[in-house]
Amino acid sequence: MSVGILTSGGDAPGMNAGVRAVFRSIKMREPSREIVFFRGGFRGLARKLDSSTDRNVQRQETRGIIHRGGTFLGTGRVPELKVPAADAPDRVAQLAAHEAFLRVAAVNLYQMDVSDLVVVGGDGSFRGARLIARHFRETFPDRPFRVIGIPGTIDNDIWGSDYSIGFDTALNNVVDAIRKIRDTVESHKRVIILEVMGNTSGWLALQSAIAGGASVLAIPEVAASHDHENIVRRLIRGAERDYRYFIIVYAEGVAKQHGNGWAQGLRRRIEADPSLRRLHGGVPMEVRLNSIGHLARGGSPSALDNTLAGLLGTAASDVILHGQLPGGPALAGDVMVGCEGPRAVALALDEVVERSPRLVTEDSPLFRIAQNLMLSAEQPF
């Protein structure tokens, strides 16, 4: 039977390498196995098959993609996959669209003889894949079908995997931006408030702040890190210790929790503070706002992301061909392949979905490291 592969959700550098690894690992051991590419994410499952799929993919179709950013298969979000809220004003219409999408996707997968669907994506993608898998098995109970998830998201927030494809590239992109911005803010003795991606999880902001030498960090999971007064106290202490400039890194989810006015409010508070004005020679310390945004996703994947993609893609092919990872137990049902350090692991997709997203906590080792390395209101040196 066929193996389907798609990429879903936000694009992440290294997704192409993950697709390539699944394809090559399967074909190396079972050359006759058909590989089907679905284009446009889950949307490709519910379109006309002749326009949204590549059947019986051959080697030349995966040549050269390992060095490209984004995903050559395309991606996108599918609102119809979400179960509408109970109080949605048009819930009946939304439910009908939801059921219709699942029905068409299941029929198309059946017609393509797909027994294993590899989904490279994040938390939302895995939730959608689980819905499709359940509907397929209810509709065609005698046909084998399972989902194999590969974590691909720059947020690095998938439970059960230390890292996800795309995170390392995005992290290096953000750190590179911090280093470039540092040249300007140091020259002008300014404050920069820098937004990075991360709607619910702060892993990208946290690790880029540590690696980039930021002064202050604010992430969605830790409410105390959002407090303007606490941040200003830390800047005052730094100015008393002859700090020439400050870099404040925050995840976009912080702004969303405060009505998108959080950074502007902090800017006004810093520029109006009398202590900072006095320590800055009697004039306000200028503050600039900036956002790295989608630039974090761009560019060729890092060596680490491509290596991780190779590890996880090969592990996915092991599950498809042998039903288990080498030396591991037999696996039943939908699974996700992730990593613990340099080792691939396989986990039940249900558990991954139920326990994701993986969030930063105040007792996370990296968060404690950040507090030791960044400014504090009691800065002793």
**Domains observed in the chain:** 2-166+301-355 (3.40.50.450), 168-297 (3.40.50.460)
- Can you tell me the mean pLDDT for 335-348? 97
Q: How confident is the model at residue 354 (pLDDT cuts 50, 70, 90)?
A: very high
On whether the CB atoms of residues 283 and 277 are closer than 8 A, the answer is yes
What pLDDT does residue 259 have?
Answer: 84
- Quote the CA–CA distance of 180 and 143 in Å, as a whole number: 55
The residues that bridge with 216 in the sheet, in sequence order, are 248
Task: Give the pairing of strands 335-340 and 343-348.
Answer: antiparallel
pLDDT tens for 135-161 read 999 999 999 999 999 999 999 999 999
| 273: nearest Cα among 235, 226, 227, 240 | 235
Q: Residue 366 pLDDT > 90, yes or no?
A: yes
152-199 pLDDT, tens digit per residue, is 999 999 999 999 999 999 999 999 999 999 999 999 999 999 999 999
What is the amino acid identity at position 142?
D
Active-site residue, from 116, 123, 155, 334: 155
Name the pLDDT band for 61 (thresholds 50, 70, 90).
confident
pTM: 0.95
Residues 109-138 have a mean pLDDT of: 96
In the chain, the percentage of residues whose pLDDT exceeds 90 is 90
Rounded-to-integer distance, Cα 340 and Cα 84, Å: 35
**What is the mean pLDDT of the segment spanning 93-120?**
95
* 47 vs 140 pLDDT, higher one: 140
pLDDT band at 52 (very low <50, low <70, confident <90, very high): confident
Has residue 271 got a pLDDT over 90?
Answer: yes
Q: Which secondary-structure segment (H or E) carries 175? A: helix 167-188
Q: Mean pLDDT across the stretch 291-298?
A: 95
Written as six digits, the tokens of 160 are 């059960």
Per-residue DSSP letter, 11:
-
Question: What is the helix (H) or strand (E) element at residue 26, kind and residue range?
Answer: helix 15-29
- Phi/psi for 4 (5° steps) reads -95, 145
What band does 272 get if pLDDT is binned at 50, 70 and 90?
very high
Give the Cβ contact number of residue 241 at 10 Å. 12
User: What local confidence, expressed as pLDDT, does residue 51 receive?
Assistant: 72
pLDDT for residue 76: 86
Beta bridge pairs of residue 120: 7, 150
Q: How confident is the model at residue 57 (pLDDT cuts 50, 70, 90)?
A: confident
Catalytic annotation present for 305: no
Q: What is the pLDDT of residue 50?
A: 74
DSSP state of 285: P
At 27 the pLDDT is: 96
